[in-house]
Structures are given as C-alpha cells and as structure tokens.
Structure 1
Amino acid sequence: MTQTDVTPAPRPSTPDLRGFARWGRAWLTAPDRGYARPLLFGVVLLTLVQVGIQIRFNTWNRDFFNALEHRDAAAFRTQMLVFLALAAASMAAAVYQLYLKQLLQLGWREWLTERLTGAWMREARHYQLEAGAAEADNPDQRIAEDARVATELAIEFSVGLLISVSTLIAFVGILWSLSGPLAFTLAGHAVEVPGYMVWAAVLYAALGSAATWLVGRPMVGINVRRTTAEADYRFGLTRARESGESIALIRGEPDERRGLGLLFGRVRDAMHALMRSQRNLMWLTSAYGTLAMVFPTVVAAPAYFAGAMSLGVLMQVGAAFGQVQAALNWFVDSFPRIAEWRGAVSRLVAFQDALDDLDAVAADPAQPTITIEEAQEGADESLVLDALEIAFADGTTVIAGASAVVAPGERVLIKGESGTGKSTLFRAIGGLWPWGGGRIVTPPRAAMAFLPQRPYLPLGTLAGVLCYPRPVDEFEPTQLQEALGQVGLDALAERLDEEERWDRVLSLGEQQRLAFARLLLHRPRWIFMDEATSALDEANQDAMMNLIVEALPEAAMISIGHRPGLEAFHSRSLTLVKSAEGARFQRLPPRAVSARALERRRRKVAPVTG
C-alpha cells in the first residue's frame, strides 16, 4: 500500500488557558448569550456588597470587644443589634449571590455544550474523530463532564479571585493603619518598618503559595490521567452492557471481568497517584492553616502588652490580618481544585483542537482530501467517481484510481473480497470519509438514503424510529402501518406509540426489515445498501429487494453484498480487486440475462415472515 499525507497543516499551539478564555469572551459577546451580562453584573455587585459587609464586621469586632472590656452593657446591646442587621444583610447577599452564580454557571455550560455538540455533530465530524483522532477519545465524557467542571470552576474561581482582590484592597488599608510601625535596631542602626503587619501577611502568604506550587504542581497531569481513566472505565462498562447478549452466549464474562479489571486498574493507579499528591499537599496546607490561627496574635502581642492597643483593637487587627491573609491565600486554598479544572480544560481544548484539525484539513486546498460536489435539484443526478483515491486516517491507501459513473435509475452491485474498501467507499460517498483524493459528484443529499448492515434505531417511540430522521407528523398513521405490513412486521403496527429500546426488542433481521419500511416512507431516488440484508434468509432477502424494485422502480440502487441471488436485482456489477497500490475497479459487462433472472427470482419469492 502507498502512503498519502493526510495530516492537518501545522498551526500555532494555543495554551489551554488561552483557548478556554476564547470561549469565555465568545459567550459574553454572542447573540445567544441570554442573560449572561446581567447575571455577571449581579454576581459582581453582590460580591462587592459581601466584602463591604465584612469591612463593617471588622469595625464591629473592635466595638464589640471594647464594650466587653469596659463592661458597657448598653454598648453591648447596641453592638448585638448591629450584628443581627449585618448578619441578615450578609445572609441575603450570600444567598442571592450563590443563586445568580449558579444561573451563570448553568448558562455558560449550556452555551458551551451546544457549541461543542454542534461542532461534533456536524458534517460527520463525530465519525471522523473516532476514525482518525485518537487524542479526542471519549467525546461524550468531554462534553458532559469536562464542560461542566470547566465552566463551573471557572466562574467559581473568578468570583473567589474577585473576593480575594477586593478584600485585599479593603483590608490592607485597615491593617496598615492599625498595625503601626515596627521599630528595631539592626547592626547599630534604628530601623522602622511602617505597617509591619501587612508585610508579615504578604511574606506569610508568599511563602505558602510558593511551597504549594512546588508540592502540588504534579496534580494537573495526574487529574488528566484520572479523568481519562474514569472515562475509559465507564465506556467499558457501557460497552459490556450494550453487548450483554453476545457476551452471555459465548460465556465471555471471565474475559470481560479481566478487561474491566484492567480498566479499573488504571483508575486505581491514577487515584493512588492523586491521593499521594493530595497527602503531600495536605501536610503543607494543614500546617499553614494551623499556624495562621495564632500568627497575627503573636505578631501583634508586643504592642498589646506594651499598652499601645486595646483588646478590641487587638481583635480588630487579628480579624483584618486574617482577611488579608485569606485573600493572599486564595491560590493555596484553591490549588487542588485548580488542578482538577486545568485537567478538564486541557481535555476540552484538545477536543476542540481535534475538531479544528478536521476543519483545517477540509478547508486547506493544499491538503489531499476527497472533494464532494452535490448536484442541484433538477440537474443531472448521476453519481460520478472521478480518479477517486481513498486512504485510511494513517495515510494507507485502500482504493486507488477508482472512476465510475452510475446513472439515475441504475442498479449496481459492488463486489470484492474483504478489505478492498467497499464500506469505506460508501462512507466517502456519504461524506463521512475525507481522507484521500479525487472527486465525487453525488445526487442531492435529500434524494439519498443509506442502509448500513445494522440500522440505527434512535430512542423513542416506534413511530419515531420508523420515520427517522424525519418528524413523525409528516406521515399519517395508516402510512406507517402499511409500511410495516409490507415488510412483514404487521405485529408491530399496534405498538407505534410505545417507547422501548427497539434495538434490543427487535432482532437484527427485524431491524433490517424496519429499514426497508423507512425506504417505503421516504421514497428516496438513490438507495445505497451496505450488506443491508445480511441478517435475512434468502427468501426474505428476495422479498425485500423485490419490494423496493416494485415500490420504487425509478430509484437508483447501489449495493454492497456477498449473498448469492443479489445479482439478479442489479443491472451490472463493479468489482474491487486488490493491488499493491490500492484496490481498483474491474468492470464487468452488463448482464444481458439480468431481466430474466430477476423475473425468475420474483416468481420464487416466498411470503415475508417474522
């Protein structure tokens, strides 16, 4: 096989945080942002109100303890009333700030989820990621969980940082004015440090933040590993549940347990690494927090014992120091969750980058990709394969130099041994497969219908499954019942309004016949079938094919199949033959006996059975 370069063009690497910040700016400026700006304003306003209340609490702290020190009962009662008023205001501000913050978090998550889902479910990108972008594994986990963590914690951190900065600005001035200068002698020289409590708080927080960063920085990478391992484990469990029948029939439970055990082993290993990192960080933060309880009192005690400040002022200094130190400690206190957030952001940005890579490949004229041209309604609707080359995502060519024309109304059977790329050819015609080169001219997409070997049955009512992807209200109930009867599924006609897991309720053969019933409803002009009758016996296969020929006589049909008897329903064949450079078409002459053979097959068709 030859190699074709289908890698995306290199583009500048964008750091995770910068990439995530783009989403924040885009959300706040998007036409569909909803109430994002008013909610953001409300959160900021209530946050500043809370800081203002804390400033008032600081002065209350001084007055309250002074009243106690002077045994002033009247002042004590007054301060208790002030406390109740401040407490009520603080509670109201906290409750509504939390509510608005949660609305903001939900709004951003909804907006981002819609954007990611839209980019993923666009032009077969979801399929192409699975086929060629391993770095974007488990997109469901990234969209559902990582988007939640990234948006919720981003707003949480932003509000926390706003509180810390505004608290720091407010209480540094208070602490500076209360602490006064620190005078001492150094090498025979008198030294005076103004506002020494402020410098003590800054030094204490700086040392703590530096130590936290050094000890906790491995947690970012560990969180990425843990999230990926958790997603893989959930996928393994889901896959085992979805394949329960096959596993049970072949008694594959021991092997499944081993596989799930290995997947959980990765979760366990990542959790052990995270626990060790958290343990190390906990030693630091516990010691840091414990010392912070007495540090301001110890630093201010000399002034108190010297009579330079009252008990109330000492308590006010301690409270102000605590506020300043808490503001400076935001990084220390938030680091474990910052590591979790960075992990989620990293996975989200990698997911978006993978989608952008696919867009870049499709948009870059220098990249060797398959060109899809869609015919306009009313124009020549022939299917044209022009010097088509199809490659795998790793660059290996599977089909080379394939050219063919299928006219409207023709019925063509595509044959070839396994591995020649028949199904990949259908994916390319359907616009799913961009890797390769050459040109495909297709009929209008609305005129085309694809029947894979295993039909897709969405969740919902049987009527919704039968009409998919069109709305149920486009069809009369009698049309649905008639279509089911034509394919031998009369027994289901009374269950159209039932909601079930129809991919579990129906056998594969019944699912394939349901797909033929869809054709009768949608009446496409072009039908593409990839082993669409593989689960049917010969009589039912002939019945389905004969039904389509009679019900849709003008429709073109292109089929992939190995079953004997299919040739009778097609006017010619195209055979893919392997070669060192990639499979190529070997054209066979039109079958002159196809009409007579088809008539014989029709006479032999048995009634459709369940």
Structure 2
Amino acid sequence: MSNKTADDARLLHEDQAEHSIRAFGQLTKVWLRSPDRGNARWLLFFLLALTVAQVLIQIRLNLWNRDFFNALETRDGTAFRHQIMVFLIYAALSMGVAVYQLYVKQLTQLRWREWLTRHLTEAWLREGRHYQLEMAGSTDNPDQRISEDVRISTDLALDFGVGIINSLMMLAAFIGILWTVSGSLQFAMAGHDFDIPGYMVWAALLYALLGTFLTWLVGRPMVRLNVERTAAEADFRFGLNRARESGEGIALIRGEADERRGLASLFKQVKGTWRGLMRSQRNLMWLTSAYGTLAMIFPTIVASPAYFAGAITLGGLMQIGAAFGQVQGALNWFVDNFGLIAQWRSAVQRVITFRDVIEELDTLIDDPNQPTIEVHETQDEKLVLNNLEVAFSNGTTVIADASAEIQAGERVLIKGESGTGKSTLFRAIGGLWPWGAGEIRTPPRKDMMFMPQRPYLPLGSLRTAVAYPAGVDAFDDAAMVEALKKVGLERLGKQLDEEERWDRVLSLGEQQRLAFARLLLHQPRWIFMDEATAALDEANQDAMMKLVLDELPEAALISIGHRPGLAAFHTRSLDLLRAEGGAKLSRPTKRIAKRQWPRAMAHAAKEARAQRRAFRRAKPAQ
C-alpha cells in the first residue's frame, strides 16, 4: 500500500471516529431529555456530588500529610496520636463516599445501557429492519453491537466523565496548594538572576505535557486496531455459533474438517489483529512504565534543593510530593486511560455505524423520491399487485412488471422455477422487501398470517411457541391441546409448560405441523404459505391442507409449492416465468368454481394416489 493510500485510509478512519463521537454525544443528550430517561438526571447529580465530596476529602488529607510528618519530625507524640485519629475519621469518610460513588455510577451505567439497548433494539426489530439489514449486508454482527459495544460505550463514557471531572477538580485544588508550598526557584544563569514562582507547578505541567504528547504519538494506531480486533472477534464468534447451530448437518456429511479450516481462517484474522494491538500496547507500555516510575522520585528530586537549604520542612517536602502526585495524576488522565479510550472509541464507532445504517434504511424507504416498493394496508378485502417490480438490494431485477388481484376467500397457488422470485414476492407482500418499484395493496395486517418453510419457534415453553406471536395467555389450555391434536401432535399436549429448544427437539415436519396448530388458533382471514408443507409427506400434506379448508373455509389462501397435489387445494394458479430482465407473472389460469372444489380435490388426490402406486410398482426390489 502506498503512503498516500495509507494516509487517505487513516484520515477516513479518523473522520469516521470523530463523527461517531459527536453523534454519541448527541445521543447522550437525547437520553437525558427523553421522557423515558427515568431518574437519570438525579443519578448524575448524586454522582457529581459524591465526586466533589471525594475531592474535598483528598484536599483535607493533603493538609493532614503535612501535619503528620511535621509531628514525626518534631517527635511530638500527642500531635502524632491526634493526627492518627484525624486520619481514621477522614479515611472512613473517604471509604463511604467511594462505595456509594461506585454504586451510583454503576446504577447510572446500567440505566444508560438499558435505555440505549432498548432504543437500538426497537429500531432494529421494527417492520422487518433486522431482516432487511441482513439481506443488504449493511452491518455485521448486530448482536455484538447491541450487547457488547453498547455496554462498553456507556460504561467507559461514564467512567471517563467521572474521571475527567475528578481530575479537573483535583487539578484546580492542588495546583493552588502546590504553588503555595513549593515557593520560588531562584537561580543565576549567564550573569542574570532568575526567580520562578510556583516552580513545582511548572515542572508538573511540563512533565505531564511531554508524557501526554508521547502517549498520543505512540498509541495513536490503537483506535483503528481495536475496531479491527472487535470485528474479527465478532466474526469468529459468529462462526462458532453457526457451527453449533448446524451441528447435525455438519456431522452427517462429515464436514468437520472443512469447518475447522473455516474457523481456523477466522481465528487467523483474530490473531493478526491481536498481534498488531499487542505491538502497539507493548510500545505504549514502555513509555507509560518509564513515565510512571520516574514520577515516583521526580517531585522529591526537584524539591530537594529547597529542603536541603532549610526553606521547607520534611512535612513540607512530603506535602509537596503528595500535591505533585495529585496534580500529576490529574494531568496524567489521558496517559493512564489511553488504552481504554481507544477501546471506547472503537465501540462507539460500531454502535453509531449500526444506528446510522438503520436510519439510512428508514430514509430510503420513507423517501418518496427513491424507487421502492410501496406497501399500503387498506380495509379492502383483496390483495392487489400493481406494476410490481422486485429487485435485489444491488439493483438486479428478480420480478418485472407483475400485476394481479386476489379476492377474499380465493385460494391461489403461485408456481415457478427455482430462482424466479416466488419467496421474494412473499417477502415484498409482507412488507419485508423494499427493493424494487410498484405498489402492493394488502388487506389489514392483523388479518394476515405468513407461514415460512421453517417456522420460527421462540425460546421458552411450548405454550409460548404455539401461541406465538400472541402472548401465552391469549389461548386457554383446552384450545391449544385441541389444535395440537388436530395436527397430529397430541403427545405434546401434556408438555405445554416444558421449556426446551423446541426448534431442536422437534423435527422440521413436526415444526411445520405445529405452525398449522398455531394457524388454527389465530384463525386469520388471509393465509400465506411459502413451502409450508415441504417437510411433510404427501399424506400429511393433504391432511394439513384439508384441515385448513375445513377449519377456515372463508380464509384466502396464497401459497408457494412444487408438489402436483397442492393444486387440488387451490382455485387457480399464477405462474412466474423466467425471462430476460426479470421473471414475468403469467395471466391467471381458469378459475375453478367453488361447487367444483370437492370434485377437483378428490380427482387430484385420486391421481396422486395412482402415481404413488405406480411408482412403488416400478421401483426395483432392494
């Protein structure tokens, strides 16, 4: 990479980091002004009050330091015992303030994290944004951004805020003390006499400025390296989770070796980013270690001429050393926290990038000047596709100029070759797929229910999975047991309150039948099935479809499927035909009159049985 390219990349990264910090500051203001902020302002007020109290205690202890060592120097036993009692009192106060300062700070961090997590989760899990972001490939690992990066962003931000306030107050207080007790430094040079008042203050400032500059210079790459490390760790963890979730498929085809190679490649990226970060931290550690070690004797060396000249007592020398240490600690805040600052900036950048991508997607979908699929929910009992064009997120057209109208109560089968966009069309109808153009007018969303090929079973009890997306109290036990019985899962009726990973306990066919039980409970007026019976044998498929017709005779049914037997359960079909520039939606085939449905279904079922018998007779003996 050329120097110019590297410099451009560095400047771009720094611009992104600055934008992220500004945006995070604006987000913090939103939190403090938000109606759902809770008692955040009071917590911050208490935290500030405790910080001020701790600084005042430290000022008093500095004065105690002088009196204590003076008592030692004069061998005054009474004064020595008195100073011991004074110390115990202030030490107890300091411990009490420190304990509650920590508690209030952690409580504030928790409230802040809770608020930010809730708002990001609401934005992510709203109107299919989580799915759209995944399809567009806009951000990686949203789970880590919401869980880990939000925690780091809020926790360290409050730590830094408290640390900076504490450092500024300590600096203001102890600079005055240090200026007063250090006196003036008088010396002659080149025939001129010089007098530097409060010279220990200038020594502390110069020492801290030099350390801060060197720390920034040496540790600057750590921000970029932390961003890369976090992304690599997230990718590696995702790979591990994916291998765990797909354990059965990997084991059956003996794909462990390939998975190991993939995970090794992901960990190689983790290792590479960590090695870069370790080198940067090693260089910074050389500097901070030398800087901190020298600071232990630096004030004593600088103040020793005044002590040997008799201008200050031992107590004064100790007070100067303590005050110098407090001033130095305040000025060294940047040096001491540089590594954490780099980690915080990387986490903030990931959080803000995640939020920005969601907002950009919202803007794209809501912008009337941007060509997207317009989905309008109406009170009409019909589904209308009007000049619909469906595309991928990269602009490639999948379905071109589709128009159709489906009335309430109709049963329509959508057919087409694999890759012609049948499932994508369903996603567009469900409002999940904004890429494309044209208009979709749907019946009320509350009357619609979608059944994908792999049903979603939430974590928790079986009762939760059966009632989903309604709450567990929406249906009584008798209704759930009856629905499970009708779909051939009566054995599960006694397990409603058992908590399992039901998506693993149940086979895919059982999961699909459970989805039909869910359908019977919710009784929607519009049913959309996307290969919802693909894991069932033909007999079970026919039973489930007949169950839908019997239990929900007035409901509209729009489904995708490839098996010939499905046609018997629909009144007409729409075909997606592959064509250059995007699949075309064929004109509807001839409708079957309602009075002919039973005859048509019986005829189709008879043909299907005859085909199965012929297949079995033709199958060679094993």
Q: Give TM class, smaller chain.
A: over 0.9
> Is the counterpart of residue 184 in structure 1 residue 203 in structure 2?
no
CA contact (8 A) 2:565 2:608 kept: no
User: Which residue is 1:59 aligned to?
Assistant: 63
For residue 94 of structure 2, the aligned residue among 82, 90, 103 is 90
The normalised TM-score by structure 2 is: 0.93
For residue 144 of structure 1, the aligned residue among 143, 147, 152 is 147
> Is the counterpart of residue 197 in structure 1 residue 197 in structure 2?
no
Q: Whole-Å Cα distance in 2 between the matches of residues 466 and 318 of structure 1?
A: 71
Map Cα deviations across residues 462-498 of structure 1 (whole Å, 9 max, x no partner): 1111110112222121111111111111111111111
Deviation at 1:180, TM superposition (A): 1.4
Task: Return the letter of the residue paired with 1:550.
Answer: D
* Larger mean Cα displacement after TM superposition, 260-269 or 433-442: 260-269
**SS at the partner of 1:413?**
strand
Pairwise CA RMSD: 1.5
User: Which residue is 1:334 aligned to?
Assistant: 337
Q: Whole-Å Cα distance in 2 between the matches of residues 501 and 408 of structure 1?
A: 37
Q: Whole-Å Cα distance in 2 between the matches of residues 579 and 600 of structure 1?
A: 33
Q: Whole-Å Cα distance in 1 between the matches of residues 33 and 321 of structure 2?
A: 43
User: Which residue is 1:425 aligned to?
Assistant: 425
Q: Whole-Å Cα distance in 1 between the matches of residues 520 and 84 of structure 2?
A: 80
Deviation at 1:181, TM superposition (A): 1.7
**SS at the partner of 1:373?**
strand
> Is the counterpart of residue 80 in structure 1 residue 84 in structure 2?
yes
Q: Whole-Å Cα distance in 2 between the matches of residues 185 and 129 of structure 1?
A: 71
Task: Return the letter of the residue paired with 2:505.
Answer: V
Q: Whole-Å Cα distance in 2 between the matches of residues 473 and 393 of structure 1?
A: 39
CA contact (8 A) 2:20 2:352 kept: yes
Deviation at 1:601, TM superposition (A): 4.6
Q: For 1:508-547, what aligned pairs fall within 5 Å after superposition?
A: 508-547=508-547
CA contact (8 A) 2:398 2:421 kept: yes
**SS at the partner of 2:564?**
coil
User: Which residue is 2:618 aligned to?
Assistant: none
User: Which residue is 1:312 aligned to?
Assistant: 315
User: Which residue is 2:243 aligned to?
Assistant: 240
Provide structure 2 residue ranges, at least 5 long, that are not aligned to the other structure: 1-14, 610-622
Task: Return the letter of the residue paired with 1:418.
Answer: S
Task: Return the letter of the residue paired with 2:430.
Answer: G
Deviation at 1:499, TM superposition (A): 1.0
Q: Whole-Å Cα distance in 2 between the matches of residues 603 and 446 of structure 1?
A: 37
CA contact (8 A) 1:67 1:76 kept: yes
CA contact (8 A) 2:574 2:589 kept: no
Task: Return the letter of the residue paired with 2:542.
Answer: D
CA contact (8 A) 2:565 2:605 kept: no
CA contact (8 A) 1:542 1:601 kept: no
Map Cα deviations across residues 265-310 of structure 1 (whole Å, 9 max, x no partner): 1111111111111100000000000010011011101111111111
User: Which residue is 1:469 aligned to?
Assistant: 469
Map Cα deviations across residues 330-389 of structure 1 (whole Å, 9 max, x no partner): 00000000001011001000000110111110121111111110013xxx2210001111
User: Which residue is 2:453 aligned to?
Assistant: 453
Task: Return the letter of the residue paired with 2:443.
Answer: P
CA contact (8 A) 1:542 1:605 kept: no
Q: For 1:139-538, what aligned pairs fall within 5 Å after superposition?
A: 139-376=142-379, 380-538=380-538
**SS at the partner of 1:403?**
strand
Map Cα deviations across residues 42-61 of structure 1 (whole Å, 9 max, x no partner): 11111111111111111111
For residue 108 of structure 2, the aligned residue among 104, 108, 116 is 104
Task: Return the letter of the residue paired with 2:145.
Answer: R
Task: Give the direction of change, closer, same or farther, for the CA distance of 1:579–1:601 in structure 2 (3 Å limit).
Answer: closer
User: Which residue is 1:25 aligned to?
Assistant: 29
Map Cα deviations across residues 213-260 of structure 1 (whole Å, 9 max, x no partner): 011011111111111111111111111111111111111111111111
Task: Give the direction of change, closer, same or farther, for the CA distance of 1:408–1:542 in structure 2 (3 Å limit).
Answer: same
Q: Whole-Å Cα distance in 2 between the matches of residues 603 and 467 of structure 1?
A: 35
Q: Whole-Å Cα distance in 2 between the matches of residues 398 and 180 of structure 1?
A: 82
For residue 49 of structure 1, the aligned residue among 47, 53, 60 is 53
* Larger mean Cα displacement after TM superposition, 334-343 or 592-601: 592-601
Q: Whole-Å Cα distance in 2 between the matches of residues 231 and 313 of structure 1?
A: 54
Deviation at 1:435, TM superposition (A): 0.9
User: Which residue is 2:8 aligned to?
Assistant: none
Map Cα deviations across residues 107-129 of structure 1 (whole Å, 9 max, x no partner): 10001100111110111110011
* Larger mean Cα displacement after TM superposition, 245-254 or 572-581: 572-581
Deviation at 1:311, TM superposition (A): 0.6
User: Which residue is 2:123 aligned to?
Assistant: 119
CA contact (8 A) 2:568 2:605 kept: no
**SS at the partner of 2:195?**
strand
Task: Give the direction of change, closer, same or farther, for the CA distance of 1:489–1:384 in structure 2 (3 Å limit).
Answer: same
Task: Return the letter of the residue paired with 1:261.
Answer: A
Task: Return the letter of the residue paired with 1:452.
Answer: P
* Larger mean Cα displacement after TM superposition, 559-568 or 204-213: 559-568
Aligned residues: 591
CA contact (8 A) 2:410 2:556 kept: yes
Deviation at 1:588, TM superposition (A): 4.0
User: Which residue is 1:7 aligned to?
Assistant: none
Map Cα deviations across residues 488-539 of structure 1 (whole Å, 9 max, x no partner): 1111111111111111111101111111111111110000000111001111
**SS at the partner of 1:383?**
strand
Q: For 1:538-557, what aligned pairs fall within 5 Å after superposition?
A: 538-557=538-557
Q: Whole-Å Cα distance in 2 between the matches of residues 199 and 578 of structure 1?
A: 80
> Is the counterpart of residue 599 in structure 1 residue 606 in structure 2?
no
* Larger mean Cα displacement after TM superposition, 288-297 or 567-576: 567-576
Deviation at 1:444, TM superposition (A): 0.4
CA contact (8 A) 1:543 1:605 kept: no
Task: Return the letter of the residue paired with 1:351.
Answer: F
Name the % identity: 65
CA contact (8 A) 1:574 1:585 kept: yes
**SS at the partner of 1:565?**
helix
**SS at the partner of 1:474?**
coil
Q: Whole-Å Cα distance in 2 between the matches of residues 542 and 517 of structure 1?
A: 15
Q: Whole-Å Cα distance in 2 between the matches of residues 605 and 95 of structure 1?
A: 76
Deviation at 1:589, TM superposition (A): 2.3
* Larger mean Cα displacement after TM superposition, 202-211 or 569-578: 569-578
CA contact (8 A) 2:483 2:517 kept: yes
CA contact (8 A) 1:528 1:559 kept: yes
CA contact (8 A) 2:236 2:266 kept: yes
**SS at the partner of 1:473?**
coil
Task: Return the letter of the residue paired with 1:80.
Answer: I
Map Cα deviations across residues 314-339 of structure 1 (whole Å, 9 max, x no partner): 11011101100110000000000000
User: Which residue is 1:36 aligned to?
Assistant: 40
Deviation at 1:602, TM superposition (A): 6.0
CA contact (8 A) 1:452 1:532 kept: yes
**SS at the partner of 1:322?**
helix
Deviation at 1:97, TM superposition (A): 0.4
User: Which residue is 1:4 aligned to?
Assistant: none
CA contact (8 A) 1:427 1:433 kept: yes
Deviation at 1:184, TM superposition (A): 2.4
> Is the counterpart of residue 569 in structure 1 residue 569 in structure 2?
yes
**SS at the partner of 2:456?**
coil
